Chain A
Amino acid sequence: DVKVTQSSRYLVKRTGEKVFLECVQDMDHENMFWYRQDPGLGLRLIYFSYDVKMKEKGDIPEGYSVSREKKERFSLILESASTNQTSMYLCASSYDGELFFGEGSRLTVL
């Protein structure tokens, strides 16, 4: 079975802190994605990557950056967390278009 692992299920951070969300997949997938999910807004794409060291902006990249130094790992970085970044963050990897999601990281910014 494909496994996508997110490092933290729940995080609480303060405004202005730097936040790292880590995601690792074990199926050698080329493509990896970061989404955030908010009530009434659904899943929105933040960034994606289709190869090591490659990254593309999604629909809402502002306030975020990403890193893909190794094929299996895709990190989401909040340089200076703000309260409007309180959300559920979902990482996914894909093969032939089908997404495999991690369990999600619920981030609260106080």
Chain B
Amino acid sequence: GQNIDQPTEMTATEGAIVQINCTYQTSGFNGLFWYQQHAGEAPTFLSYNVLDGLEEKGRFSSFLSRSKGYSYLLLKELQMKDSASYLCAPSLTGGGNKLTFGTGTQLKVEL
């Protein structure tokens, strides 16, 4: 079976940095996706890590350690519009390369 663990809620201040952690145990692993979902909207792609290490993309970075089953999403220079749910999603081997999702971390950015 699959087990994905990420914090339910986090609160941070505008302009600050926040790190959202995700640990996973899956049978068959290709890589790990992070998605952002604003309330009432569909999830949108943020990042994809296949190899160990840090991938940087503007204000957002994502890290993966395959041996530890661990990833994090780092958001810098937080803005109010970053208030959303952040979904950790390991990609599994096999037909369809299906993604299995964590329950998401609800991030609230305050002034």
Chain A interface (Cβ within 8 Å of chain B)?
A: 31, 33, 35, 40-45, 48-50, 56, 58-59, 90, 94, 96-104
B71 close to A (CB within 8 Å):
no
Option from B30, B31, B42, B102 in Cβ contact (under 8 Å) with A103: B42
B72 contacts partner chain A, Cβ-Cβ < 8 Å:
no
Residues of B within 8 Å of A42, CB to CB, are 87, 101-104
Of the candidates B30, B41, B44, the one whose C-beta lies within 8 Å of that of A97 is B30
Q: How far is the CA of A54 from the CA of B99 in the complex (A)?
A: 18
Q: Scan B83-99; emit 1 where CB is below 8 A from any A CB, else 0.
A: 00001010100011111
Quick check: A33 and B98 within 8 Å, CB to CB?
Answer: yes
For A104, give its contact among B35, B42, B102 (CB under 8 Å). B42
Cα(A6)–Cα(B98), bound, Å: 20
The verdict on A59 contacting B43 (CB below 8 Å), with A42-B87, A97-B30 known, is no
Given contacts A33-B99, A50-B96, A56-B96, 9 further A-B contacts (CB under 8 A): A40-B103, A43-B43, A45-B98, A94-B97, A97-B30, A98-B45, A99-B45, A99-B99, A104-B42
Chain B residues with a Cβ closer than 8 Å to the other chain, count: 23
Chain A residues closer than 8 Å to B96, beta-carbon distance:
31, 33, 48-50, 56, 94
Q: How far is the CB of B50 from chain A (nearest CB, A)?
A: 9
Chain B residues whose C-beta falls within 8 Å of the C-beta of A50 in the assembled complex: 95-96
B43 and A56: CB pair below 8 A?
no
Say whether B21 faces chain A, with CB atoms less than 8 Å apart.
no
Bound: A103/B95 CA distance, A = 25
Closest 7 CB pairs of A and B: A42-B103, A101-B42, A43-B101, A50-B96, A97-B97, A50-B95, A31-B96
Q: Which of B41, B96, B98, B102 has the most CB of A within 10 A?
A: B96
